[in-house]
Structure 1
């Protein structure tokens, strides 16, 4: 069992008003909860309040399966968008990948090392190339070749498979296919992508070539939630590395791949620890 199995975490956003932290804290206190972590933020431009609070469920008077119904009246009073996660089972993640293996390798290594408290029941790809890697880690590998003619049918099969395995989150670890609006709509704020560029600069294909031709002095990587607009989803994590006139495109790609691995791993960790709230096209990240 996970050492965090007795935790519950609330993520909430609502219009700002006096006493929100006190009311939420009191809800937990009067039911016997011990708050372990609390972080909040007010976006002054929009007047919205955001909070993440975790508490120990040992001795809590409400069982985890009744938490949502118990907290619901308070959330409705606040006009809130919210969710509560009770850590009784590990987050279940499916990884989508094509032929590049660096991001997949990194996630699988971190998972085996215990850095990511998740289950990875399956890997989905449009190519068979990385099946030996999945086999080495003992993870089921499913190949769904995608063409313009069969894309809809294959995505339906993928969604069915995700449902059968009760997948919470999909990670696109350099999956070189654009997901349809239908697919994205099935998993809002539950699909994480890594883009090999410091978005919004150099979106789309061949960002390293674009960066090289512009003579940039830094390159970056961006992990974001997938939306129906290509490379426009709310950003979770980014990082950069310096480059110079001495770097060819291949050097930028090599440096960029190191960033891609790190940025995607950080974003996945933040997501599965329930530290990210979307605020329109932006995110609030409680680190």
Structure 2
């Protein structure tokens, strides 16, 4: 069944059409009545709340809420909703309000390893990732033909030597006003602080969870030598502190003494695919709220 057929079926059964759905993220200092304020405001505008998740941090006093709601004539109502939310919530709470019928635009960066890249493209084609993939950018041309079979533009931008400024300038040119976030699908290059700042959108990375224990080439060979019992992967937002950004998702699988380094690498690739796809999905659906160097994930 296609996405369009699924939407049509859901609407026929009485569920709201995707085009009428919005997400509302509220965060800030906790106080009495935030949930009630949001609920009464939305109901006063004829909105139907489909899902609501909230979390209050007892240690910091911070409040986080994700609300998914539907409303007829949503796009026309958004400006008035935004103004009333700003008036009712006050300056100590911030919010984002987004029409869910407009998918987030994403650029995928890759190198020679194609398992995460092709998995994202396959899930997208199957309707499992509610995003618009604007382009794939790679520092190697190896995956160009496979990417183009998915109907996705492919750009080869070489990045050799210690000076990445020319490549990053081309990246910024391609990305400018075309994407809402970037995914590093095993892109084996370190991004500069200037690029992270200038790109102006969130960047999601995937890496094996051996870091920082097995830094550098051949991590699975090093893991085999150490006799590891767990292998896994971590998806996180990119910051200037290498591999230390807010974590979105993690997973592990068990390993034994009988596993070869090739076995570990194969099983690690499976975990990387699953972890990255979940992170991309949750970000696309506004389920992840960044707060300092950690995240609240309403999965």
What's the TM-score once normalised by structure 1's chain length?
A: 0.92
In structure 2, do the counterparts of structure 1 residues 246 and 46 end up closer, same or farther at CA, with 3 Å as the change threshold?
A: same
1:162-201 paired onto structure 2 within 5 Å: 162-164=175-177, 166-187=178-199, 190-197=202-209
In structure 2, do the counterparts of structure 1 residues 60 and 144 end up closer, same or farther at CA, with 3 Å as the change threshold?
A: closer
Corresponding residue for residue 277 of structure 2: 265
Corresponding residue for residue 63 of structure 1: 77
Corresponding residue for residue 12 of structure 1: 26
Corresponding residue for residue 156 of structure 2: 143
Across the two proteins, how many residue pairs are aligned to each other? 285
The more displaced of 151-160 and 81-90 is: 81-90
Corresponding residue for residue 31 of structure 1: 45
In structure 2, do the counterparts of structure 1 residues 223 and 201 end up closer, same or farther at CA, with 3 Å as the change threshold?
A: farther
233, 250, 256: which one aligns with 1:244: 256
Say if 2:152 is the partner of 1:125: no
Corresponding residue for residue 12 of structure 2: none
The more displaced of 224-233 and 206-215 is: 206-215
Say if 2:128 is the partner of 1:94: no
Q: Is the 8 A contact 1:193 1:223 kept in 2?
A: yes
Say if 2:86 is the partner of 1:72: yes
Q: CA deviation at 1:181?
A: 0.8
Q: Distance in 1 between matches of 2:46 and 2:190?
A: 47
**Structure 2: tracts of 5 or more residues without a match:** 8-16
SS at 1:49 equivalent: strand
In structure 2, do the counterparts of structure 1 residues 63 and 173 end up closer, same or farther at CA, with 3 Å as the change threshold?
A: same
What's the TM-score once normalised by structure 2's chain length?
A: 0.88
Q: Distance in 1 between matches of 2:86 and 2:26?
A: 12
